Amino acid sequence: MDALASIEAIVRDLLIFIVAMSAILVALLVIVSRMPDDNPLKRMMVALSWRVGATAAAGMVALPATPIPGVDVAVDIGAPILLLWYWWTFFRDLRANRTPTAPPPRIEPANHK
């Protein structure tokens, strides 16, 4: 009986953690969505959302394609290759955008004599 209580406590704690992280994620998405379009954080989050969606879509396509001969092999080989390329482009572009840029020029006030 003690084992069931400890398993119940672990599951309860995990569910609380999942709910808390989901709330933080929603708050972060709302904050980022209100940023201007040229903000680098917003561009990165949009690209990340597209990659996560593509990964989920590949998983959803794999299940119905499994019983179809030929298609299952194409999905099993093609989906990971395409996802690797898609995610690689994300990290490549992310690294390219991290290069330091020169600070904006400083404007000195005009001296009036």
Three-class SS of the chain = CHHHHHHHHHHHHHHHHHHHHHHHHHHHHHHHHCCCCCCHHHHHHHHHHHHHHHHHHHHHHHHHHCCCCCHHHHHHHHHHHHHHHHHHHHHHHHHHHCCCCCCCCCCCCCCCC
Q: Are residues 23 and 42 in the same domain?
A: no
pLDDT value of position 29: 85
Indicate yes or no: pTM above 0.75: no
What mean pLDDT is predicted for residues 28-41? Answer: 89
The domain containing residue 5 runs over which residues? 1-34
Q: Are residues 2 and 45 in the same domain?
A: no
Q: Are residues 27 and 65 in the same domain?
A: no
Q: Are residues 30 and 41 in the same domain?
A: no
What mean pLDDT is predicted for residues 98-105? Answer: 62
pLDDT value of position 65: 87
Of 26, 20, 78, 18, give the one whose Cα is nearest residue 54: 78
Q: Are residues 40 and 89 in the same domain?
A: yes
